[in-house]
Amino acid sequence: MKLTVSDLSCVRGDYRIFDSVGFEVDAGEAVQLTGDNGSGKSSLLRLVCGLLERESGGVSLQGAAPGAEIADLCHYLGHDNGLKAPMTAMENLQFWRAVFGRTGLEALAALRTVGLERIADLPTGYLSAGQKRRVAIARLLVSKRPIWLLDEPTSALDAASENLLGRLVDEHLGAGGLVIAATHMPLPFAIAATIDMSLQRSVPEAAPEPWEYTG
């Protein structure tokens, strides 16, 4: 399997965030996106999985089943953990397993993998930031999808949890999956290539008029 990003451009409002970004990710590889805040790292991840509309360029996947949609093969782990606060950790994972397909671990087994089986029945609103992030990581395990798009995946994690994330990503890559990760920090897994999004930054399409007080 190979994911190819070709001449991808992103416009938000009147601003062209980046132009002509292109790279490839083979099965078993991880690519990291680096760059300043606002350089388009998160936007690129959302463009890949179809959460944002592309201004130009394309994303293609070789080696997938005929007719498979890229969006249906992606796990997107964003800044928002995708958890409902009143629902327990178990209920959140059961929900996502039903949505994404019952092809991975059972919810309790996924929580056990990230060391949270003891809080399975606790509403996620009561969890610490690090625990919420680990529940979100467990969401990657309840349904098997080959493309992991990770936005600041180590956010709120302590050293032990970062090591756990590294092991899970290594297992995913070893099984033929691929990863694109946006980050400001070193990642706990091997990186095949780095894309500096700050170098792709464009200028505004239309600069705002200067504001002058005349009262």
Beta strands 147-151 and 178-182, pairing class: parallel
The pLDDT, as a whole number, for residue 202 is 52
Burial 67-102 (b: 16+ CB within 10 A, else e): eeeeeebbbbbbeebebeeeebbbbbbbbbbeebee
81 close to 155: Cβ distance less than 8 angstroms? no
The list of the chain residues with pLDDT below 50 reads 203-215
Neighbours of 42 (CB within 10 A): 20
* Three-class DSSP category at 30: strand
22 close to 197: Cβ distance less than 8 angstroms? no
* Three-class DSSP category at 74: strand
Task: In whole angstroms, give the CA distance from residue 169 to residue 79.
Answer: 18
Task: In whole angstroms, give the CA distance from residue 99 to residue 96.
Answer: 5
Strand runs labelled E in 28-86: 30-34, 56-62, 74-77
Domain 2-84+146-200 is classified in which CATH homologous superfamily?
P-loop containing nucleotide triphosphate hydrolases (3.40.50.300)
Residue ranges covered by each domain of the chain: 2-84+146-200
How do residues 64-98 score in pLDDT, each as one tens digit?
Answer: 888 889 999 999 999 899 999 999 999 999 999 99
The tokens describing 214, both together, are: 């005349």
Neighbours of 37 (CB within 10 A): 8
The pLDDT, as a whole number, for residue 66 is 85
